[in-house]
Amino acid sequence: MYKKNKAILSKILPQIQKDGIQNIINGQSVPAISGATFDNHSPVDGEFMGNIAKSDVKDIDAAAKVAAAAFKTWRKIPHKERRDILYAIAEKIEENAEEIAVLESYDTGQPIRFMKKAAIRGAANFRYFADKVIDAPNGLSTPDTNHLNFTVRQPIGPVGVITPWNTPFMLTTWKVAPALAAGCTIVHKPAEFSPASATLLCRLAHEAGLPNGVWNLVHGFGETAGKSLTEHEAIKAIAFIGETGTGSLIMQQGAPTLKRVHLELGGQNPTIIFDDADLERATDAAIFMKYSLNGERCTSGSRLLLQRTIYDEVVKNLIKRVGNLKVGDPLDPATEIGPMIHPTHQNKVISYGEIGLKDGAKLVVGGGKPAGKGCYVHPTLFIDATKDMRISQEEVFGPFLTVIPFDTEEEAVEIANSVRYGLTAYIWTKDSARGHRMALNVESGMVWVNSQNVRHLPAPFGGVKYSGIGRDGGEYSFDFYMETKNISVALGDHPITKLGV
């Protein structure tokens, strides 16, 4: 498999190195209007991955105008036709799943063992929302005595989608699939560190029959291209995934044009294991939820809260398992942890080793980085931490776990809720009443009891506090991408107050 992945890469990489990566506006690949580009490099070995269009306000304006023009027809296209185009995109993704996975892995450093599934899940997202196209406009009937009131849902208009670098392909499908199903048109600005897979996806969507202008892709930096997108008058809403600080900026930038915003932001999520839990399963899940996807995962269980009665036993096992994690080339199917996305992020993750030691926590595995090329870090485990330490409060976003002991259920809740974030929580206990109580008392948008994160597409996905505003998933996505209109029709000659008689 490793050899095959390398062979796929050597087939696709030279083309990208030669042609670079351009914008896609109105179905055409075009350079930035200014002609400017920036370089992209793989975090695996620093290899050049092409010149990327460095867009600015002019490119965003061109793309937004195209999206506004295309909205007039895309919103009216027969539902079955729109549904079939989404099915066709899903098929295209499946046909190209291997290439997508290899490209994503090499561009982001994410291990291929996870990226293979990400491509397939991306296809599933399109298929799920294809099935919802026909019902998306459905509303409520609220009859009154003299009027029949009913609501319909209509697409909000052209929307901006801004995505991060951690799993860019799958996250793009989460936003784009429901937006297209709703009848919106799109201007998408992917993260500057990971431009490759979004471009391939947009190209495949056009090959699958998506009309020109419906989905436009503009590369560039957040402070220029991203900012212009959030400020553009023609763009009615911004679906954003990224850091909390950026989310706050996006609200400010969008305020003058009254943008609707959906923000999926950072997390510092607790995994809480009580002493009556199935410790083997709980430990497996705790390790998976922190060290999968390089720990660059918003829903990571970054703080492990362990009841003191089982603390030593679980910690001993963790030390062994984290020490065994296989770090290496993400294209190797045996690899469990690949490189961080970029040298700046690699340095950030490493810096938390120093911060943890200064805080007074005990470093038992990792810290620092291996010698050699690539943005690798050693998987890291800190124990004996307290809730107020920076390694317990801040989002490290790497293979870095902080273990905190607790004695009682009340203390576990207090520690869990002591951070500004509130995305997910994972509770492990065989006491069903306690599992339910904990689920109600932890401050987060999503809770899993006796489970790792298992995404169910109709279920709402999103955070509270500094982890975000709004929900994705099933019908919740349509609350964002559609407007609810009330229509009231008189049933007869009801009284009308006469004025000026």
Question: Which residues bind to ligand NAD, rule: CB under 6 A?
Answer: 162-166, 171, 189, 191-192, 221-223, 226-227, 230, 241-243, 246, 249-250, 253, 264-267, 298, 395, 397, 423, 463, 468
Question: What is the rounded distance in angstroms from the CA atom of residue 200 to the CA atom of residue 103?
Answer: 9
Per-position b or e across 370-398, b if 16+ CB within 10 A of its CB: eeeebbbbbbbbbbebebebebbbbbbbb
Tokens of 184: 């919106």
Cβ atoms of residues 100 and 119 within 8 Å: yes
Tokens of 194: 């990971």
Of the candidates 192, 231, 264, 336, the residue annotated as catalytic is 264
CB of 327 to ligand NAD, least distance (A): 21
Tokens of 79: 């539902």
Backbone dihedral angles phi then psi of residue 430, each to the nearest 5 degrees: -95, -5
Per-position b or e across 264-288, b if 16+ CB within 10 A of its CB: bbbbbbbbbbbbebebeebbebbbe
Residue 160's beta-bridge partner residues?
Answer: 187, 238
Residue 305's beta-bridge partner residues?
Answer: 272, 404
Nearer CB in complex with ligand NAD: 183/222 = 222
Residues 6+ apart with CB under 8 A from 301: 269, 270, 271, 285, 286, 289, 290, 401, 424, 426
Helices (H) and strands (E) in the chain, counts: 16, 21
CB of 193 to ligand NAD, least distance (A): 7
Find the length of the chain.
501
Residues 6+ apart with CB under 8 A from 498: none
Nearer CB in complex with ligand NAD: 223/407 = 223
CB of 490 to ligand NAD, least distance (A): 45
Nearer CB in complex with ligand NAD: 42/163 = 163
Cβ atoms of residues 122 and 169 within 8 Å: yes
Q: What is the dihedral of CA 239, 244, 249, 251, to 10 degrees?
A: 50
> Catalytic: 375?
no
Nearer CB in complex with ligand NAD: 171/364 = 171
> Catalytic: 202?
no
The CB-nearest residue to ligand NAD is 222
CB of 235 to ligand NAD, least distance (A): 12
Nearer CB in complex with ligand NAD: 204/298 = 298
3-state secondary structure 252-321: HHHHHHCCEEEEECCCCEEEEECCCCCHHHHHHHHHHHHHHHHHCCCCCEEEEEEEHHHHHHHHHHHHHH
CB of 22 to ligand NAD, least distance (A): 17
CB of 328 to ligand NAD, least distance (A): 23
Nearest to 112 by CA among 321, 329, 341: 329
Cβ atoms of residues 189 and 232 within 8 Å: no
Nearer CB in complex with ligand NAD: 104/332 = 104
Nearer CB in complex with ligand NAD: 314/423 = 423
Of the candidates 104, 184, 231, 298, the residue annotated as catalytic is 298
| DSSP assignment of 348-387 | HHHHHHHHHHHHT-EEEE--S--SSSSS----EEEES--T
The structure tokens 């892709």 sit at 217
CB of 264 to ligand NAD, least distance (A): 3
Nearer CB in complex with ligand NAD: 315/396 = 396
CB of 52 to ligand NAD, least distance (A): 12
CB of 432 to ligand NAD, least distance (A): 29
Side-chain-side CA neighbours of residue 297 (13 Å): 23
Residues 6+ apart with CB under 8 A from 483: 153, 154, 155, 156
Nearer CB in complex with ligand NAD: 50/328 = 50
Question: Which residues are part of the catalytic machinery?
Answer: 264, 298
